[in-house]
Amino acid sequence: MKSTIVSFSIFILMLFSIIFSIKYLNTVCMKLQNLNTKIEQTLQSNNWEESYRNSEHFMSEWKKYSSKLSIFSNYNEIEDINNELWKLIHHITYKNKEEALISVDIIKNSIYSILHMQQLNIENLF
């Protein structure tokens, strides 16, 4: 009886941990996606100073969350986002709109990929 209670308690604890971690991942990814969208909008309106400030803010948020996201995701995806973010900042600095928008899109797709791969569904369980 005692082992059943302990096992059930561990199961409940694991379930809450999974739910909490997925909620945290969703929150962080949505925050990063919103920042990325702001960068995209300012780039499309050719507001280079605001784009640069937004990209610097994205970089600071990325540094804060990337170590935690590496728990949920493949290291290569984290490194790809990091590299594209550096490219984005340089493209904005040199006012290369096309390349900057491509980097924004790559970052957006990578964050979506992290979020999608960690969703709780049958496909990801098996």
Q: What is the pLDDT of residue 56?
A: 96
State both tokens at 123: 């496909």
Please name the helix (run of DSSP H) or strand (run of DSSP E) that holds residue 81, with its range, or none: helix 75-93
For the chain, the domain total comes to 1
Q: Is residue 51 part of a domain?
A: yes
State both tokens at 85: 């973010």
Average pLDDT for 71-77:
84
Average pLDDT for 63-83:
89
- Say which residues have a Cβ less than 8 Å from residue 54's Cβ, sequence separation at least 6: 35, 38, 39, 42
CA distance 73 to 120: 14
Q: In this structure, what CATH number is given to the domain that contains residue 50?
A: 1.20.120.290
Which pLDDT tens digit goes with each residue over 17-72?
Answer: 888 988 999 999 999 999 999 999 999 999 999 999 999 999 999 999 998 888 87
Q: Is residue 7 part of a domain?
A: no
